[in-house]
Amino acid sequence: MPLSVDIVTLGVPQVGAARTFYTSAFSATATENDHTASLDLHGTGRLALRPIDALAADSGTAPETSGFRGYVLSSIVNRPAEVRTLLDAATAKGATVVKPPKKQLFGEFSAAYRAPDGAVWKLAAASKKDTGPVPDPPKPTETAVYLGVADPTASRAFYEALGMSVNHDYGDKFLDFVIADGVCRLGLLPRKALAKDAGVDEHGDGFSALVLTHIAASRDDVDALLAAAGSAGGRVTAAAARTDRGDYAGHCTDPDGYHWMITTPG
């Protein structure tokens, strides 16, 4: 079973405040259980919010973080006007604009902001022009997570070893992977280029406050993916075991240190 980004979990200072922000920013529904809020991003993936200390502890690392965390989350919509609407909704709830909305060099219309929890979000329009009325609320056609990496080619080999298939490949400049319905797209860029695209300084260190979760079909699949991660240049940080919630889960990192949880129910 190939790896997929089924849930993006952010470590946040206060789950309640982050829940309020994201439900307002994306007009998304949310549920809360065991100090974790979970949001459905209109069928384009799921966003989970956990206390940053708890998320770091589960990942086997310290919770301290500063500066650019090395990743950018992205919401893709149809029209430039939807980018502006989503940006206005985010800033009204405390987000800070780091890249104002505008048509970029190669024709893309986009903007970027930093959420109150520190995560950087890019909003991008699939079309260069506004055609037809703006939906109320705007709904993403796709959600993506872009990782800033040292060597996209080496990172590509890691993710291919875990069953992912490349969709767009621009060598060491950018690549992303094929996605299935209902999950987030994964893309890889050099860290400096990713930060520049989002309009933020590239420097930062500590915990990324991000864990990507793959929901496997079986325990055997969990074990196989963790073994593949360890053999392909990643590191298994917690062997698979039954959790307090009754799931079977293990943790690993990719070659650049981004955290993954591989889990299966029951």
Cα(111)–Cα(86) distance, rounded to whole angstroms? 10
For position 108, what pLDDT does the model report? 82
Cα(73)–Cα(238) distance, rounded to whole angstroms? 25
| Residue written as token pair 């979000």 | 121
Using the CB atoms, write b or e for 235-248: b if 16+ within 10 Å: ebbeebeeeeeebb
For position 133, what pLDDT does the model report? 82
Q: How far apart are the first and last CA of the chain?
A: 18
For position 134, what pLDDT does the model report? 83
For position 197, what pLDDT does the model report? 93
Segment 206-242, tens digit of pLDDT: 999 999 999 999 999 999 999 999 999 999 999 999 9
CA dist list (Å): 91 to 27, 82, 84, 155, 170: 14, 14, 11, 34, 33
Segment 5-55, tens digit of pLDDT: 999 999 999 999 999 999 999 999 899 887 899 999 999 999 999 999 999
For position 107, what pLDDT does the model report? 61
For position 59, what pLDDT does the model report? 87
For position 227, what pLDDT does the model report? 97
Segment 99-156, tens digit of pLDDT: 999 887 656 899 999 999 999 999 999 888 887 788 888 999 999 999 999 999 889 9
7-264 — its CATH code? Answer: 3.10.180.10
For position 245, what pLDDT does the model report? 82
Return mean pLDDT, the chain: 93
For position 105, what pLDDT does the model report? 61
Q: Where are the domains of the chain?
A: 7-264
Burial class (CB in 10 A: 0-12, 13-18, 19+), 35: exposed
For position 45, what pLDDT does the model report? 95
- pTM equals 0.95
For position 106, what pLDDT does the model report? 57
